[in-house]
Structure 1
Amino acid sequence: MSGRPWKIPESVLVVIHTPALEVLLIRRADAENFWQSVTGSKDDVDEPLALTAVREVAEETGIDCREGSALACHLQDWHLQNVYEIYPRWRSRYAPGVTHNTEHLFGLCVPERLTPRLDPREHTDWRWLPYQEAADACFSPSNAEAILLLPKFVK
């Protein structure tokens, strides 16, 4: 594992959306045509899930939803989780024998379509789509299902 710690098999998925239910998708750099919402694992087993969500949103899009920011009150824990099998191509990032991940769902409502700031090592492109089209464009079934839940969480 070249000295890096194993990934923790507990993560967040953050559906970033507008009030009009347009969803931001970002394309993974390590998998052509793999469009997804913001995702990422905890950095520490004790890291609160909301902090993981805030950190991942900032790292992957440059959008600030930290406590005290204008968007902080728009980050919503959906109190839902998915347990899924980790794709074999990414299992080497986890400790031997780890095959499943628990993903916690969040939503982040932004006032309008924002232009994300991507790290090209992680993501190479972005697009905003109506939520149903965004769900269809996702490579991950759990991500698509989360996006389809969006109307239930918009206030």
Structure 2
Amino acid sequence: MQIWAPLMALLVATPAAAQDETSLRQADAAQHEAARTRNADALAAMMHPGFEVNSPEGEMWSRAKTLELWRNRGIGHESFDRTVESVILDGSVGVVAGREVVRPSVDSIAGKRRADGAQPVERRFTNVWLWKEGRWWFLARHANEKSKRPVP
């Protein structure tokens, strides 16, 4: 599977054929694959210099901090599935949103925080993309763990 990671990064770094929903979905799928496989180099290639994430840990992380965490195993998952529920395009901005189910790696920040044996966690996510210089740049992300509703 590692053979595909550099190819996915190249697909995002290469100018897309068009600024449309198909190319936006392809960029987001490449980001998901890079995150799923902990490919920090592929993530770096697609991240805008001003990238920030509102993390599931309740903190804002810069591009530099996010990449450092990917490289040092602070972020990572044993499994990571994503379902896109909404895609919005307006001018040079694209937004992809939906739900994710992750099982944090035990050595990640989330894995160390959780005391549940790395059980699957459902999250909501929003990825913001910027069309610039003929390609999609990963500009911002928000992800939060979905709270469990109390049983009445």
TM-score by length of 1: 0.29
If the length of structure 2 is used for normalisation, what is the TM-score?
A: 0.30
Structure with bigger helix share is 2
Q: Which has the higher contact order (CA 8 A, sep 6+)?
A: 1
More strand by share: 2
